[in-house]
Amino acid sequence: MTYLQIGHSETLGLIHLNIMGFGVDMAKAREIHKKNIRNARTEKFPALDAEFNKTLEASGDTAAVAAKRQALRDAPADSAIAAASDPAALKAQWNTSILGTSPY
């Protein structure tokens, strides 16, 4: 099967490009960002679980470790993700203190 390229369809594509332009689907970008957060925190949880268990065995205060774990759980629901109006704002939302190095 062969396809013929029709000249006017190229023109229509250019007109569409000039009128509509290309933009970023921020809803999709937010979902990708949340997925990246979930991937990053998946790597962090085992270390925090081990730290929690060590602290618990030593009869220490587990509140700090529990707070870190809760911060990781809450990271995908951060209100700054929903408030981000462009990809740069979404990338800036990455919290390196709890999630580590940004994937961006």
Tell me which residue has tokens 């009128």: 19
* pLDDT, tens only, 34-57: 999 999 999 999 999 999 999 999
| Helices and strands, counts by H and E, the chain | 6, 0
Top pLDDT among 15 and 96 is at: 96
% residues pLDDT > 70 (the chain): 79
Distance (Å, whole) CA 86 – CA 43:
27
Top pLDDT among 85 and 5 is at: 85
Helix (H, G, I), strand (E, B) or coil at 74: helix
pTM: 0.72
What value does the mean pLDDT take over residues 70-80? 94
Name the DSSP letter for residue 58: T
